[in-house]
Amino acid sequence: MLSIGELSRRTNVKVPTIRYYEQIGLMPPPPRTEGKQRRYGADDVSRLNFIRHARDLGFDVEAIRELLELSEKPDQSCAEADRIARRHMVEVERRIEQLTALQAELRRMVEECSHDRVGECRVIQVLADHGQCAHERH
């Protein structure tokens, strides 16, 4: 049996975060020692790795909750897991596009700056007047 610190070291998830995951129901409440300290088993390591990996890939807690539930029913169709992953993929795609447009605007702003006084600073000017932006929306 592992202490919470040992579990933390093996999964690279911080101790308070593990307790937090327990609190919000991502991790099941583990058995305790007589002194009320948490003790974990191999299953907990797997589950927490799963959570960690999904978080790293940007899934939110709700999605992870669903994915965890699914992973416990190996006989069910995986269409749902697919749907969750795809939905998230679309979200990420959208975010990348957004950031890329934004990046272009920022670059233009910085490149056009003459590095002189604030009064002539392109950065400040553009911020003050959206009309000077290349794109209508960001």
Partner DNA sequence: CTACAATCTCTAGCAACTAGAGGTTCGAGC
Partner DNA sequence: GCTCGAACCTCTAGTTGCTAGAGATTGTAG
Binding of a copy of itself by 103 (CB under 8 A): yes
Encode burial over 78-117: b for 16+ CB neighbours within 10 A, e otherwise.
eeeeeebbeebeeeeeeeeeeeeeeeebeeebeeeeeeee
Binding of DNA by 33 (CB under 7 A): yes
Q: Tell me which of DNA, a copy of itself, none is bound by residue 28, counting a contact when its beta carbon lies within the kind-specific cut-off of 5 to 8 angstroms.
A: none
Binding of DNA by 8 (CB under 7 A): yes
List the interface residues with a copy of itself, window 15-74 (CB under 8 A): 46, 49-50, 53-54, 56-58, 67, 70-71, 73-74
Binding of a copy of itself by 118 (CB under 8 A): yes
Q: Tell me which of a copy of itself, DNA, none is bound by residue 79, counting a contact when its beta carbon lies within the kind-specific cut-off of 5 to 8 angstroms.
A: a copy of itself
Q: How far is C-alpha 119 from the chain's CA centre?
A: 40
Number of amino acids touching a copy of itself (CB under 8 A)? 55
DSSP SS3 for 37: coil
CB of 21 to a copy of itself, least distance (A): 15
Q: Residue 32: exposed, middle, or buried by beta-carbon count in 10 A (0-12, 13-18, 19+)?
A: exposed
Q: Residue 22: exposed, middle, or buried by beta-carbon count in 10 A (0-12, 13-18, 19+)?
A: middle
60, 69, 93, 112: residue in contact with DNA (rule CB under 7 A)? 60
Q: Which residues bind DNA (CB under 7 A)?
A: 3-6, 8, 14-17, 19-20, 32-38, 55, 60-62
